[in-house]
Amino acid sequence: MKSSLINNYRMGGYLLIAIGLINLRYQTGDDGVVGRSLTIIIPGAILLASTWIPALAKKLETKAVQAFSIVIGLALIAYAVIN
């Protein structure tokens, strides 16, 4: 797997985890904040973990998975900012 591509996936995973944790901190006391934050954190953690599993890392190379990851990642970032 290309190292630059895997680094991009890892940075995206770290980004989602960080945004989810920031969301959790700044909305402390709101109803449902844990669920909303976990909606952002869990996909980031799954993405990050999948970069270290060779079988899953190979699947991340395909164009379809790259496009899907970008769409889902941007949607989760927008969700974090809007809510």
Look at residue 53 and tell me whether its pLDDT is greater than 60: yes
What mean pLDDT do residues 34-45 have? 95
Look at residue 1 and tell me whether its pLDDT is greater than 60: no
Determine the longest span between alpha carbons in the chain, in angstroms: 43
- This prediction has a pTM of 0.90
| Closest to 78 measured CA to CA, from 35, 33, 31, 15 | 15
CA distances, 4 to each of 1, 35, 58 (Å): 9, 32, 14
Q: Are 72 and 42 in contact (CB under 8 A)?
A: no
Q: State the amino acid at position 22 in one-letter form.
A: I
What mean pLDDT do residues 28-42 have? 90
What mean pLDDT do residues 58-77 have? 95
